[in-house]
Structure formats: C-alpha cells, structure tokens
Structure 1
Amino acid sequence: MRLVVVSIGRLKQGPERELADRYRERFGDIGRKLGFRGLDIQEIPESRARDAASRISEEAAAISAAIPEISVLVALDERGDNIDSAGFARHLGRWRDEAVANTIFAIGGADGLSPDLRRRSKLCVAFGSATWPHQMVRVMLLEQIYRAATILAGHPYHRA
C-alpha cells in the first residue's frame, strides 16, 4: 500500500521541513519491510480566493484531483476523532492487509477541509481539540505514520 499526504501549502526550509523529512525517511526504512510501498507528499498551493467558502471549494477540488480512484481517504480535521497511536496503527495495518492500493491523508489549508471531503473519508482524525497550523499537522501526521509502522513491527519506539 502506498501512503500519500496531500497537503494544502508548502513547507519552507526550516525546522518543520527538517522534522517532516526525518519522519518520512524513518518510515521509509521500516515501511518497506512491512509491505508499504512508500510515503509521498503532494503539496497543493493555497487558494487565493477572497472568501473562505471559495478557498475551501478550490482547495477541495485540487485535493480531490490528487486522490486515485482506488484509495482510502483519511481526513485530518479538528472535528475528527481522537484516536490513539495503537488504533491508528490498526487502521493502517488492516488497510494494508486488505490490499488497499493507496491511503491518502488530506490536510486542508487555513480554512480547513470541505464537508464533502470529510464525508468521503473512511477516517477523520483530529490531533486533540486544539486548532493546529496545517504545517504542524503535517509533521504530527508523519510522526504518527512512523509510530504506526513501529507498532506494527513490534519496534520499541512506541511505549504504551
């Protein structure tokens, strides 16, 4: 199964990009051994529309265009479920075992994801009840993907 993070906005050079790259590389090492085909990042430019509804709509269209037909969609949204790392790992492991071709993680821009994308998602995840900048959500998601792989591998990185 291939994992793809589709994110509105670009991570510029700096500590966030370095941390995101570190977790992505770590996942690559362990993920291949677990049957994952890769972890890709697709950055989509932020909409320049004047109003929030138009921005959300334009960004949703761009995200939707990046989702292959045979995919599981995971929405990152502040209204999502708070699941623990072991539960997150179980989802990834189950989709891998079911031979899902692609798992797509969608991170919206400053105005969030469209209701349509949230409805289409197989899983909607929040990292707590706080609102996080989408750049930080990407780093936290990549860490959780890496952590899920270590849980599936029985690696000691995750200590419950």
Structure 2
Amino acid sequence: MRVIAIGRQRQGPEAELFARYAARLRPALELTELAEGRGAPVEIKRREAASLIAALPTGAFAVAMDQDGTTPDSQGLARLIDQWNGLSRPICFLIGGTEGLDATVLARADAKLSLGRLTWPHYLARAMLAEQLYRAHAILTGHPYHRDGRP
C-alpha cells in the first residue's frame, strides 16, 4: 500500500508518528510526496490533481481521502482493506493539499474514504491513516493491537 500526498513534510512529531505505523506494516506503507501547486486555488487543485493521477501506478486501486467519503469503523475498514487486497491491484491512498482534491481525482478514485467530519491538518491525517491501516492489518491477522468494545 502507498500514500500519495501533496506536500513535503519536515521532521517532527507527525512525520515520526506516520513513520512508526508505516514501518509496522508488512510490507511497509510507502509514502510518495508531491510538490504543492502554485497559483490561484483553481489552478492549484488542477496542478495537484495532475500530479496525484500521474503518480498512481498502472492499474492502481485509488482511494481518495475526502470528507464526503465513507466513514467506516475500524472493523469496517479492515473488511474494506481485505476486499481491496483481493483485487490484486496496488492500493494507493490519495491526500490532497490545502485546497482539497480536484473533481478529476475524485472521478478517478475507485473509493472515497473519510477520517470523519472534522477537519484535520494534512500531515496529521497521514499519521492517522497510517495508524488505521496498521489497526486494520492487526484486525485481519488476529493481532491483539485492536480491542473490540470499550474497556
């Protein structure tokens, strides 16, 4: 699996958190960072969309991280990941820049996923996504990391 994201993250707690969970996955979660677009908001979205789509491997299953996407719980995400893995296609999660994802990216996406209705900084969203992907993997493999129910 791969995260393709707009913006290059400097070292810091968000980057360390992403790296921690990305490294726990086998194979490790890859990160492709793309330059932020310049210009008017419409032009920024257009340029970033072109970069995101160009960065997708051939035949990739693209998951747009979008506020209007589905909001599964952790068990539901694990089921989705299991289904997507069964497609035998590279799974790529697309995270836009500050202007969000262009309609062309959303149209190209095979699925849309949301981390909830709250607005999150893009670099924190990367770390949250990596943790949830690790949690989904733990659920699918029976690892005790995830605990059902409340304590």
Structure 2: runs of 5 or more not aligned = none
Partner in structure 2 of residue 103 of structure 1: 91
- Alignment correspondent of 1:87: 76
TM-score relative to the length of structure 2: 0.93
Q: Distance in 2 between matches of 1:103 and 1:115?
A: 20
The match for 1:39 is 29
Confirm or deny that 1:77 pairs with 2:66.
yes
Q: Map of 1:9-158 to 2, 5 A cutoff?
A: 9-27=7-25, 31=26, 37-49=27-39, 51-100=40-89, 102-158=90-146
Provide the rounded CA distance (Å) in 2 between the counterparts of 1:156 and 1:75. 29
Deviations 1:91-111 (A, max 9, x none): 2112222322x0010000000
- The list of structure 1 runs, each at least 4 consecutive aligned residues, that deviate by more than 4 angstroms after superposition, is none
C-alpha distance in 1 between matches for 2:137 and 2:111: 18
**What is the CA–CA distance in structure 2 between the aligned matches of 1:21 and 1:52, rounded to whole Å?**
30
Pairs aligned (count): 148
TM, length-normalised to structure 1: 0.88
Distance 1:89 1:64 in 2: 25
Give 1:86 shift: 1.3
> Aligned equivalents of 2:18 and 2:51: distance in 1?
22
Asked if the contact 2:22/2:28 (under 8 Å) is kept, the reply is no
